[in-house]
Structure 1
């Protein structure tokens, strides 16, 4: 009888097989994690409902009452009116904060003198409680949209600045030197080295900045406003309408979640090469 010897797989096939097994394992882990998260969510809702029925309704309301209030807000138009006011304040502050943070971060990362000049101011602004700044912005700019945008931007730009500065300082110097040895222009260095190196830092900053921008917008609405979800919370609590306040809180959480998922989708499309490398 002749023994059959199976030739060893090429190195590339072995690596591909390992990746596919790891992908299947990650897929199973993801599915299990999502099921556990869904069950935990249902358990929390059930505990909240039972707690409300047991006497906690005056403090925390109940999910069924929140759904009823949500439907009522949709029917009366209060939902869209207040939601859009908060969204515009958040997006405006996010854009302003991102632009200021990116510009200052690049300057401070590339030029030491810029870091020396701006560091004390950035540290001072970062240490300033923004809640205390809110009433001043209302006095200076009124209760309109602009004061909320500035407050949100003041929360956003510091974190973006730190991330961008760190990204600029961590750019591979050997890669820059190699590009320069090939007589790459300044635009080619920016397009092919700086932007790809900064992209992961920017997306990481953006994920955190969403929460900061929403926080700044809501704080501004709590301090002084005539519309918005923050204003709705303040107005509801002033008449002991716990269900209304909790409904607005749930809407804020959903808004933050939706914005975060949008960033995740954009990041996966733009940084697909990074996911493949991982």
Structure 2
């Protein structure tokens, strides 16, 4: 087991180094192409100029007010959309009649273009955070719902039947069988949902807001400030990566029983 663990650590280290080298090559190539006129820095800016702008934003503290608003909107959208998607997904997966009745409506709702819904949410909820949260929820809900629905439907029927034969109630079945089995699907949906929650918040801010990273990007675009646009996008990319790392840690913690189970099987063999 120690050799295998060392191999995994070595592989992860190699991957991280390759990712870092790729990032350096891309950024350096972008900078040189802009400096030597291979690309027009009016449209693409320069990494060095973007770094200076980011240093100015974070050094002055101007970015924190906007970033906190965007993260609040995204967190609310992720929490509300994720909870609703999980609960409704479980309910419809366990109730065949209700699933058959609501299936066409769910698919129609998922087919609606969210960009079209954004102005409607602005009319309904105003220019505050709730119009952005509503747009984020409309994106997150369906991702989590379909993953939860499929995850519950994919649970081994023999396992469910055995639990029922042992006298498990619906609540016990949900807690000890269905939820652990579907947890991998649900957590996988959260990786996608984080990005979509941020997309919903930023699009809403872009269309109408007085604060937020989307507002910063909109203002920069309105003055043809490509450096500001790329700086705003860089902030969003870093936030998504940081949150995804946090979700990976939570996922490893929640699914640690799989590692223990695999280790036990290996020892028995």
TM-score, normalised with respect to structure 1: 0.89
Aligned residues: 260
User: Who is 1:187 aligned against?
Assistant: 171
Instruction: Provide the residue aligned with 1:104 in structure 2.
Output: 88
Residues 45-56 of structure 1: pairs in structure 2 closer than 5 A? 45-55=27-37, 56=40
Q: Distance in 1 between matches of 2:20 and 2:72?
A: 31
TM-score (norm 2): 0.92
Residue 73 (structure 1) aligned with residue 57 (structure 2): yes
2:18: which partner in 1?
Answer: 36
Q: Greater CA deviation, 249-258 or 174-183? A: 174-183
Q: What 5-or-longer segments of structure 1 have no aligned partner?
A: 1-18
4+ residue segments displaced more than 4 Å? none
Partner of 1:243: 227
Contact preservation (8 Å) 1:268, 1:275: no
CA change 1:105–1:211 in 2 (3 A) is same
Cα deviation for residue 194 of structure 1 reads 1.4
Distance in 2 (CA, whole Å) between partners of 1:114 and 1:185 is 21
CA deviations over 1:91-144 (Å, ceiling 9, x no partner): 111111111111211111011111122211211111111111111111111111
Query: Which of these residues, 126, 151, 157, is aligned with residue 167 of structure 1?
Result: 151
Partner-residue secondary structure (3-state), 2:155: coil
Matches within 5 A, 1:192-271: 192-271=176-255
Q: Whole-Å Cα distance in 2 between the matches of residues 140 and 181 of structure 1?
A: 50
SS of residue matched to 2:206: helix
Unaligned runs of 5+ in 2: 264-269
Partner of 2:134: 150
Q: CA RMSD in A?
A: 1.5
Task: Write the distance in 2 (CA, Å) between the matches of 1:21 and 1:233.
Answer: 49
Larger Rg: 1
2:266 corresponds to: none
Residue in structure 2 matching 1:135, options 73, 95, 119? 119
